[in-house]
Structure 1
Amino acid sequence: MNTPAPEPKIALRDVSKTFQVGGEDFVALKDVTLDIADNEFVTVVGPSGCGKSTMMNTLAGLEEPSGGMVLVDGEEVRGPGPERGVIFQQYALFPWLTVRQNVEFGMKTARVPKAERRERAEHFIRLVGLERFADALPKTLSGGMKQRCAIARAYTMNPSILLMDEPFGALDALTRVNLQEQLLETWSQDRRTVMFITHDVDEAVFLATRVIVMAARPGRVVDVIEVDLPYPRTEDMRLSPQFGEIRRRVWHSVYHQESDRPAATPASTEREAI
Structure 2
Amino acid sequence: MPTISFTGVSRDFALKTGEFHALDRVSLDIHDGEFITVVGPSGCGKSTLMNIAAGLLDATGGTVTVDGEPVHGPSPERGVIFQQYALFPWMTVRKNVEFGLRIAGVGRRERAKTAGRIIDLVGLGDFADALPKTLSGGMKQRCAIARAYAVDPKVLLMDEPFGALDALTRVQMQDSLLETWSRDRRTVMFITHDVDEAVYLANRVVVMAARPGRIHRVIPVDLPYPRTEEMRLSGEFAELRREVWNAVYHQPASSERTTP
Same fold (TM over 0.5): yes
Structure 1 unmatched runs, 5+: 1-6, 262-274
Task: Describe the SS at the equivalent of 1:106.
Answer: helix
Larger mean Cα displacement after TM superposition, 134-143 or 15-24: 15-24
* 8 Å CA contact retained: 2:210, 2:254: no
Residues in 1 aligned to 2:253 and 2:68: alpha-carbon distance in whole angstroms: 34
The residue type paired with residue 204 of structure 2 is R
Alignment correspondent of 2:166: 172
Q: Using the alignment, how far apart are the partners of 1:123 and 1:24 within structure 2?
A: 51
Structure 2 residue matching 1:97: 3-state secondary structure:
coil
Deviation at 1:259, TM superposition (A): 1.7
1:119 corresponds, among 101, 113, 116, to 113
2:92: which partner in 1? 98
Post-superposition, which runs of at least 4 consecutive aligned residues in structure 1 deviate over 4 A?
A: none
Name the aligned partner's letter for residue 85 of structure 1.
G
What are the residue-to-residue correspondences of 1:108-187 with 2, within 5 Å?
Answer: 108-187=102-181
Measured in 1, the distance between the counterparts of 2:185 and 2:30 equals 14
Cα RMSD, aligned residues only: 0.9
User: Displacement, 1:219?
Assistant: 0.5
Q: Which runs of 5+ in 2 are unaligned?
A: 256-260
Shift of residue 23, structure 1, vs aligned partner: 4.9
Give the SS at the match of 1:152: helix
Q: What's 1:247 paired with?
A: 241
Provide TM-score, normalisation by structure 1: 0.92
C-alpha distance in 2 between matches for 1:94 and 1:24: 39
Give the secondary structure class of the aligned counterpart of 1:20: strand
Asked if structure 1 preserves the Cα contact closer than 8 Å seen for 2:206 and 2:219, the reply is yes
In the alignment of these two chains, the number of paired residues is 255
Q: Which residue number in structure 1 is paired with residue 250 of structure 2?
A: 256
Match of 2:225 in 1: 231
Is 2:74 aligned against 1:85?
Answer: no
Tell me which of 193, 202, 207 is aligned to 2:196. 202
**Partner of residue 266, structure 1:** none
Secondary structure of the structure 1 residue equivalent to 2:161: coil
Q: Aligned with 1:16: secondary structure?
A: strand
- Which residue in 2 is equivalent to 1:222? 216
Residue correspondence of structure 1 range 11-30 to structure 2 within 5 A: 11-30=5-24
Instruction: Show CA shifts across 1:70-96 (max 9, x none).
Output: 011111111111110000000000000
Cα distance in 2 for partners of 1:199, 1:24 equals 28
3-state SS in 1 of match to 2:28: strand
For residue 34 of structure 1, report the CA deviation from its aligned partner: 0.4
**Residue deviations 1:36-63 (CA, integer Å, cap 9, x gap):** 1000000000011100000000000000
Amino acid at match of 2:89: P
- Partners of 2:41 and 2:181 lie apart in 1 by 27
How far apart in 1 are the matches of 2:32 and 2:15? 36
C-alpha distance in 1, partners of 2:219/2:15? 33
Alignment match, 1:4: none
Is the contact between residue 76 and residue 153 of structure 2 (CA under 8 Å) also seen in structure 1? yes
Matched-pair identity in %: 69
